[in-house]
Amino acid sequence: MAVRNFGQAIADGLILEMERDPDVYIVGEDVATFPAFGVTRACYERFGATRVRDTPVSETAIMGHAVGAAAAGLRPVAEIMFMDFLGIILDELANQAAKMHYMFGGTMKVPLVVRTVSGAGIGAAAQHSQSLEAWVTHTPGLKMIAPSTPADAKGLIAAAVRDDNPVVFMEHKLLYATEGEVPDGEYVLPIGKADIKRAGSDVTIVSWSSMVQKSLAAADLLAADGVAAEVLDLRTLVPLDKDAILESLGRTHRLVIVHEAVKTSGFGAEVAAIVADEGFDLLDAPIKRVTAPDTPVPFSPVLEAAFVPDAAKIRAAVLSLG
């Protein structure tokens, strides 16, 4: 294994898939000569402008192109630079890509990936800092991936490219610089399988994307309190690994759900509802959610820091369970 950062791991996965399958290509604003977050620079250096294609500044055009190309048999990886811009492509994504397989009686495949950047933490303000995964999970026909580590990012981007369904791949901007060991060569993880990032017996902390790192930091704090927290990284929200959630809860009997998205109708509410419906007898305490407040993401550094959940807030929620 080599040590890679999160962005490098995604690039590694994309390059390997592009080498394996000539139908895979990358398209989006600033993906070639001056990629905004640097992820696809290595892809451009390896494959050139034919398969890493800069587009006009039009998310609608990018997504419309990708849906048509996928329906015709190619495998586009379309970058939508910020997740906040999903609103611009919701018709192409939610009304076309998500529904074509169903509406054509299973004869049509739409094998495309939408890579998009989420999250606060760099002072990008309310229109470039949101976590909107619940928009995606509410649309049948779309898969939703949100990795938290470089190794998971490499394995899941490969799986997303190979999948015959439209997949939204969420990359938190603060994860790009995080490093970890990443398997060399071809590496593919199954979509829909959660991962225990830290074993514990007293409480299950369920999270995804950058909040997994905050949850692990909280688990360190809780260990000093004598609390053994299990951190379960969902990794993919659709399909959701319900069995992993219920199995963990069967060991710990307490549940805290952590996400950066705002609280109301966030995906954590779906996790809580599933547990209430299918695992209520496993609970020894109420379910707690640690989330951002129901407000636009602030620009002020002080307010932004207060907006994003942190280890202290997670620790407090766990300790409140008694």
Catalytic residue annotation: 128
Rounded-to-integer distance, Cα 276 and Cα 70, Å:
39
C-beta of residue 213 within 8 angstroms of C-beta of residue 180: no
Rounded-to-integer distance, Cα 215 and Cα 219, Å:
6
Chain Cα centroid distance, residue 162: 17
Q: How far is CA 272 from CA 95, 205, 295, in A?
A: 28, 12, 22
C-beta of residue 260 within 8 angstroms of C-beta of residue 293: no
CA proximity to 2, closest of 215, 183, 259, 187:
183
